[in-house]
Structure 1
Amino acid sequence: MKIASYNVENIFDLQRSGHEYKEYIPYSKSNWNDVNYKKKLKNIAKVIKDINPDIIGLQEIESLHALKDLRYALKRAGVYYPYYKIANLKDTTVKVAILSKIPFVYTHEIAVTSSYRYRNILEAKFKINNKDLYILVNHWKSKAGPESMRIVSAKKLKKRVQELGKDKNIIALGDFNSDYEEYEIFQRKRRHNDTNGITGINHILGTVKYQTDAQHTQVEPNDFYNLWYDTAPEKRYSYIYRGKKEAMDSILVSAALLDNKGIDYKIHSISAFEKPYLFRGKAIYRWQTTRSKLRRHKGKGYSDHLPVIAEFVLH
């Protein structure tokens, strides 16, 4: 079973909601129009088709309309996702969503806070080979905000895991806007470190304790293991910022997914999706806009993030 996470970099529909970023106001001078919208959908659909995941968590989808349009573009490309959901109870500019070939038992939105500065977490429960699997799709506060804001989301996620139960198969994935070793990186960036060195992804979720490959890791209940530790250090990235590779996106697993029973993570299967067409030179071939004051869409490129993929086996 293949599970992926992908920040698709702003899929906005062509309906005005009043919440759009300036360059995504439909039919304005920014050229966000039918031609460019279809091109964006087709390009992202190509990436997802080439991965062909059973379940994919998405970030930066504007609306249910946009998610359905992406699903239709995928169908036209030959991949069908009958089950889909977007976290749209809160009118944030972009939202998290999920596409699945496997039916949901239920989906549920976790409100991090009532503030629009925090995006809701999307929870989906699956029943696979009579085993329960929970997937929690995240998109935490960007680096425009300090670490304390990401900790708010981390605590809410942790609380939900404790409610579900420590023996459950839980995958938390998404754009955490945190490197897998954020606690080291943000020490150098004082404006982010407003928490005395404590980070959401490493300390609140417990990933800092487990830095060996998956085979040699015993995760304690209520902690998560970051799958990036199960591949070579040079492969641990999903984003390139000013020439430096960073792992802003992660797939985290609970102890139950490493216990050789029921559903299990397939050892060494974590990877970024690194097809040549997703790069221009050493940079990720993101969706292209002009550099003018009002950015105009060029109708080329994909996303500024690479998808992250992991495989799971059913015993």
Structure 2
Amino acid sequence: MKNIILSLILVFFVSLGFAQEEKQYKVATIAFYNVENLFDTINDPEIYINHEFSPESDKRWNTEKYFSKMDRMGGVIKQIGADVTGSAPAIIGVSEIENITVLEDLVAAEPLKEYGYQIVHFDGPDHRGVDCGFLYRPEYFEVTNTAMYHVTKADDPDYATRDQLLVSGLFDGEEMHFIVLHWPSRRGGEKRSSPLREAAADTTRYIVDSILALNPNAKIICMGDLNDDPINPSVKKHLNTTGKKEDAKDGILFNPMYNIYKKGIGSLAYRDKWNLFDQIIMSPGFLDKESDGYIHYKTFVFNKPFLMQKEGKFKGYPFRTYVGDTYMGGYSYHFPVYIFVVKEK
């Protein structure tokens, strides 16, 4: 496996609680990115209720814009965590992608093609056709199992939202599980729509519990656009998370985004308020400093200045591809989020 080895400085040892002596570590980046409506240009009304993204639509979405966005998104992904690892992420969960074709074009884009990313994707039931996807570098990760889980609504058998993607495999020979999520939006209002996200959280929790029942020490990462903040009931209560490492035990998941949120840092902005909907949450197995395997080191929002709107009333907001039907030529209305995992060499 091609790992970047760091000779870590004193601050690193102190934060991990190790002795103050020189050690070497393998370090890898795991990231999530809502890539904002990554659609192809083909209008297929037999599949989706409404396709806004075609040359004939008000957005005038065309081949030139499509491949320009692929290059821009690939350029963003390539930089996530690279200041530490010197390379692109080992694992990337993505949301708001239309189909496997757009993922194939994304990983084939100039900024990413050298990394040979492989893809896990299933077509889901969402009426707009947006799905989740999983990208991985095969020198880091070997897939052993994949599954999709439907979110159901007891009083509405026709309810359809994004499926939840489970990918299990060996990360540098160590078993890990990744759940990629895009919970229901706040359309209709936060309070009115909250039961939908709570139902989605219950589904995620079911997946987590199913894995932990087989291995209480399993290493599980839940990552996605949850459309709720770390303090909301869907995340805190239904998914059963905590922002304190010492409380992450007996199935309670650790949410490192909690303290980031408390500092006022977000991954998207709406009406001059920052939200941290994009989250990476993990099982207690990633917190065991005595573990021979990978453990969590740090968590960040990738909010570099080039990803921000430079002027106007939305200055400082994420620089997006579209505002309504107006083409901005940016990236996404979400910032990516990412973690570093480390393992002593």
Q: Which residue of 2 aligns with 1:3?
A: 30
Contact (CA 8 Å) 1:110, 1:120: kept in 2 or not? Answer: yes
AA of the residue aligned to 1:2: T
Q: Which residue of 2 aligns with 1:162?
A: 209
Q: Which residue of 2 aligns with 1:142?
A: 185
Contact (CA 8 Å) 1:131, 1:262: kept in 2 or not? Answer: no
Larger Rg: 2
Indicate the SS of the match to 2:106. helix
AA of the residue aligned to 1:48: I
Q: Distance in 1 between matches of 2:120 and 2:37?
A: 17
Q: How does 1:16-27 map to 2 (within 5 A)?
A: 16-18=43-45, 19=48, 21-27=50-56
Q: Which residue of 2 aligns with 1:56?
A: 92
Contact (CA 8 Å) 2:124, 2:130: kept in 1 or not? Answer: no
AA of the residue aligned to 2:160: R
AA of the residue aligned to 1:16: N
Contact (CA 8 Å) 1:57, 1:99: kept in 2 or not? Answer: yes
Contact (CA 8 Å) 2:125, 2:160: kept in 1 or not? Answer: no
Q: Distance in 2 between matches of 1:125 and 1:34?
A: 35
> Aligned match of 1:66 in 102, 105, 116?
102
**221 and 79 in structure 1: CA distance in 2 versus 1, 3 angstrom threshold:** farther
Aligned residues: 287
Contact (CA 8 Å) 1:14, 1:34: kept in 2 or not? Answer: yes
Contact (CA 8 Å) 1:49, 1:79: kept in 2 or not? Answer: no
Q: Which residue of 1 aligns with 2:327?
A: 297
Indicate the SS of the match to 2:69. helix
Q: Distance in 2 between matches of 1:59 and 1:48?
A: 13
**76 and 249 in structure 1: CA distance in 2 versus 1, 3 angstrom threshold:** closer
Q: Distance in 2 between matches of 1:42 and 1:154?
A: 33
Contact (CA 8 Å) 2:178, 2:223: kept in 1 or not? Answer: yes
Unaligned runs of 5+ in 1: 183-198
Contact (CA 8 Å) 2:184, 2:197: kept in 1 or not? Answer: yes
TM-score, reference length from structure 1? 0.84
> Aligned match of 1:12 in 39, 55, 80?
39
CA offset at residue 156 of structure 1? 1.1
- Larger RCO, structure (CA 8 Å, separation 6 or more): 1
CA offset at residue 287 of structure 1? 1.1
AA of the residue aligned to 1:158: R
CA offset at residue 151 of structure 1? 1.2
Contact (CA 8 Å) 1:221, 1:254: kept in 2 or not? Answer: no
CA offset at residue 284 of structure 1? 1.3
The Cα offsets for residues 212-253 of structure 1, whole Å up to 9 and x where unpaired, read as 3x4xx2312322111113558336421111121110111100
Indicate the SS of the match to 2:103. helix
Q: Which residue of 2 aligns with 1:123?
A: 166
Indicate the SS of the match to 2:186. coil
The Cα offsets for residues 91-129 of structure 1, whole Å up to 9 and x where unpaired, read as 542000011002211221112237453210111112124
Contact (CA 8 Å) 1:230, 1:270: kept in 2 or not? Answer: no
Q: Which residue of 2 aligns with 1:191?
A: none
Contact (CA 8 Å) 2:169, 2:177: kept in 1 or not? Answer: yes
Residue 285 in structure 1 maps to residue 319 in structure 2: yes
Q: Distance in 2 between matches of 1:262 and 1:126?
A: 17
Indicate the SS of the match to 2:263. helix
Indicate the SS of the match to 1:283. coil
Q: Which residue of 1 aligns with 2:225?
A: 175
Indicate the SS of the match to 1:136. strand
Indicate the SS of the match to 2:247. coil
Residue 105 in structure 1 maps to residue 134 in structure 2: no
User: What is the root-mean-square deviation of aligned Cα atoms in Å?
Assistant: 2.1
Residue 244 in structure 1 maps to residue 252 in structure 2: no
